[in-house]
Amino acid sequence: MLTKKTLKAATLGLALVGVAMGASANEVADYPSKPIQFLVAAGAGGGVDNFARVVRPMFEEAVGGARITVVNLPSASGALAHQRTANGAPDGHTLDFASTTYVTSLAAGQNPIGLDQLTPVARMQSDVMALFVNPERYPDFESFLEYAKENPGKVTVGGTHTASPDHVAFLSLRDASGLDMNFIPYDSTGNATANVLGGNIDATTTSLSPLLSYIEAGQMAPILIFSEERLDHYPDVPTTVEHGWDLTDGNDRAVFVHADTPTELVQHLEGVFQEIFASEEYQAYAERVNLDYREGWMGGEEYRQRLENNYELYSRLLQNGN
C-alpha cells in the first residue's frame, strides 16, 4: 500500500516536473499562444503611443501572426500600465511600452512598480536631450553661462511636469554645473516651447526631435547637447561631456515585461525586437520622426544596468531638487 502511494506521488511529481519543463521549452516555440496586449504607459497620440502603434504590425509579422490590442493607460504617469504588467501572467503576452518617465516617476515615488517587478526587454529609441534657447537672447552656451553666473536665481528654465525627463535633465545640469537656476513645469512640451519663443522664460531642457522645426526656422537653438560626442547635424554645439559633466541621458522608449517571465522567452522577445529594429521599415520610421541622431538600440540586460544607475542618480537629484 505504502509503496503504491509513494509510487503514485512520485509519478505525479515527475509528471509535474515534466509539465513545468515542457512549458518552459514550449513557451518560446508556442509564442504567441493567445492574444497579446501592448500597454502604453502614456496617452494616445504621443511619442510612446506612436512607437507602440508603429511597432505593432511589425511585431505581428515577426512572430508569425498574432492578435494584438493596444491599450493606453496614461493615468499616474503610466504607473497603471506598469502595475497591470507586473500583476499579470509572466508569459510575455503583456508588453509594457514606456519612456524614461518610468524611471523618473519611480525615483520621485509616484510609481510603485520597481525594477524588481519588471524586466526590460529592449530599448528602441533614445531621443537626445538638449538645452534650448531663443538665439536672439543667447547666441551660444557661453553667453548663457555668463548670464546665469552673474544673475543667480534669475534664470528660468521650462519643461514638462515635475519628475519628467525634462525636469530630471534640468536637475542634473544644475547639479553638475552648480548654476543657480529655477525650473518651471508646464503641462506639455508645447507650452514650454511657446514660453521660450515668447521670451517669457530663458530656456527649456527637452528632447531634440520635437523642436527641429524651430531650429530650422532659427527661432530656437540648442546650445548644449546632453551627449558624449557632438552631433553630426550640429557640429558647433558643445556637449555636456566637453564641459566635464557626465550627463548623456536621453528620453528613452523601451519595452518591459513581468519580472518572472522565463529568461528564454525574454531573450526570444529581445530577438524579435532586434529584428524589428534592424528592419528597413522601422529605420524609415525612425528617420521620419527624427530619432536617428544616435543609436536607439540597447539590449535588455544593458538597459537594466543603465536604469538602475539612473534610478539612484534621479532619486538623489529629486530629493535635493525643487
Partner 1 sequence: MLEHFLGGLAVVLQPLNLLLLTSAVFIGFIGGALPGISGVILVVILLPVTYGMEPTTAFMLLTAIYGATVFSGLITAILYRAPGTPEAVMTAFDGYPMTQQGQAGKALGIGVLSSAIGGLVGTVALIVFTPILASMALRFSSPEYFALAILGLTVVASLGGRLIYGLIGATLGLLIATVGIDPLTGTSRYTFDNLNLAEGVGLIPMIVGLFAISEVMKRALDQDSHQPLKKVRIKIFDLPILRQIGGTLTRSSLIGVITGILPGIGASTAAMVSYSEAVRWSKHPEKFGKGAPEGVAAPESANNAAAMGALVPLFALGIPGSGTTAVILGAFIMHGLQPGPMFMITSSDLIYAVFAGLFIVNFMILLFSKPFIALFTKLLNVPYSALGPLIVMCCIVGTYSVRNSMFDVWLMLGFGVLGYLLEKLKFPLVSIILGLVLGPIAESELRRTLSMSQGDLSILFTRPISATLLIVAFLLLAVAIVTPMVKRLRNRPAASSSSEQRSNP
Site string for partner 1, 82-111 (x = CB under 8 A): -x------------------------x-x-
Q: Quote the least distance from Cβ 132 to partner 1, whole Å.
A: 13
For residues 233 and 215, give the distance between their C-alpha atoms in angstroms, rounded to a whole number: 11
Q: Is 320 in the site for partner 1 (CB under 8 A)?
A: no
Distance CA 259, CA 272 (A): 18
Question: How is residue 139 annotated by DSSP?
Answer: S
Residue type, 209: S
Question: Rounded CA gap, 90 and 43, in Å?
Answer: 25
Q: Binders of partner 1 among 22-61, rule CB under 8 A?
A: 44-47, 49-50, 53-54
**Containing H/E element for 47?**
helix 47-62
Contact between 135 and partner 1 per CB under 8 A: no
**Which is closer to partner 1, CB of 18 or CB of 152?**
152
Q: Using CA atoms, how far apart are residues 72 and 67, in angstroms rounded to an integer?
A: 17
Of these, 32, 147, 219, 243, which contacts partner 1 (CB under 8 A)?
A: 219
Select from 227, 217, 207 the least CA-distant residue to 160. 207
Q: Which residues contact 263 (CB under 8 A, 6 or more apart)?
A: none
Per CB under 8 A, which of residues 188..207 are in contact with partner 1? 188, 190-191, 193-195, 197-198, 200-201
Residues of the shown chain interacting with partner 1 in the complex, contacts defined by CB under 8 A? 44-47, 49-50, 53-54, 71-77, 79-80, 83, 108, 110, 112, 153-154, 156, 161-163, 182, 184-188, 190-191, 193-195, 197-198, 200-201, 210, 212-214, 216-217, 219, 288-290, 318, 322
